Amino acid sequence: MTDFVPLRIGEAAPDFLARSTEGMIRLSDYRGRWLVFFSHPGDFTPVCTSEFIALTQAFNRFEDMGCSLLGHSVDSLFSHLAWLRALHDDLGIRVPFPIVEDPSLEIARAYGMVSAEAHNAASVRAVYFIDPAGIVRALNWYPLAVGRSVGEMLRIVAALKRTDDGSCLAPEGWHPGDPVLAPPGFSKNEALSGDKATAWFYRHMPDEGSSQ
């Protein structure tokens, strides 16, 4: 059996060309922008429907951060379009981002969402946060019965952007405008010179660099 190796933080996001609800999509077309690439196991599913409603409502917030959204499902383009029509007609939701099809599971396998031997998409519930250079900077997975938090997705993008230059760290629960953490010192002098024993590795400072 071929080893199942999920994509990891720091690795390049595999490029692909696929049909989508907005025409042909190549992942590398998003270079120069942050990207949230997220998958769902199938169209017309209750949990994913709730997520698409929330993502649509938050779309402009992602755009304001220079971050695009790209959905993925192993269902066919025809199924995607029928689902979008149902969301529009019954729930008043006009999804503003593309959804790529992946009926062969080629993309799902390239990203390690499923094993090479998998014949269905039961485990395809991943989110990849990809930076402008095409590198995976964060990721998370959810079970089928638990909806993802769009608020947390926004927070992760904001935190990744804020800490990208290495000038600070984002503490637990950080949101733009909250205090950030100074990078730790790495010398004996720094460890011994502070007025507190924790000062060299745990020091808050005002967040003066957030634009969001």
Give a yes or no: residue 61 inside a domain: yes
How confident is the chain (212 residues) per 10-residue block, as mean pLDDT?
Answer: 72 97 97 96 92 97 98 95 97 97 91 67 80 97 91 98 96 96 86 84 86 50
CATH number at residue 79: 3.40.30.10
- Identify whether residues 62 and 115 lie together within a single domain: yes
Question: Would you call 48 a catalytic residue per the annotation?
Answer: yes
Give a yes or no: residue 58 inside a domain: yes
- What pLDDT is recorded for position 119? 54
Give a yes or no: residue 52 inside a domain: yes
- Identify whether residues 100 and 178 lie together within a single domain: no
Total domains in the fold of the chain: 2
Give a yes or no: residue 9 inside a domain: no
- Identify whether residues 179 and 135 lie together within a single domain: no
Phi and psi torsions of 117, nearest 5°: -95, -5
- Identify whether residues 129 and 204 lie together within a single domain: no
- What pLDDT is recorded for position 10? 97
What tokens does 212 get? 């969001």
- What pLDDT is recorded for position 188? 83
Asked whether 114 and 3 are in contact (CB, 8 A), the reply is no
- Given 163, 178, 195, which residue is the final one in a domain? 163
- What pLDDT is recorded for position 1? 39
- Identify whether residues 180 and 156 lie together within a single domain: no
What tokens does 203 get? 């020091």
Catalytic residue among 13, 18, 36, 48: 48
- Given 163, 181, 197, which residue is the final one in a domain? 163
What tokens does 190 get? 């720094």
Q: Which structural domain, as residue segments, surrounds residue 209? A: 165-212
- Identify whether residues 155 and 50 lie together within a single domain: yes
- What pLDDT is recorded for position 204? 94
- What pLDDT is recorded for position 196? 86
- What pLDDT is recorded for position 71? 97
Longest dimension (CA), the chain: 65
- What pLDDT is recorded for position 114? 73
Amino acid making up residue 202 = Y
DSSP letter at 209? -
Cα–Cα dist 77/156, whole Å:
29
Q: What is the pLDDT of residues 16-49, one digit of tens each?
A: 999 999 999 999 999 999 999 999 988 999 999 9
- Identify whether residues 200 and 108 lie together within a single domain: no
Asked whether 16 and 26 are in contact (CB, 8 A), the reply is yes
- Identify whether residues 109 and 148 lie together within a single domain: yes
- Identify whether residues 26 and 55 lie together within a single domain: yes
Strand 23-26's sheet: what is its strand order? 23-26, 17-20, 99-101, 67-73, 34-40, 126-130, 136-141
- Identify whether residues 151 and 46 lie together within a single domain: yes
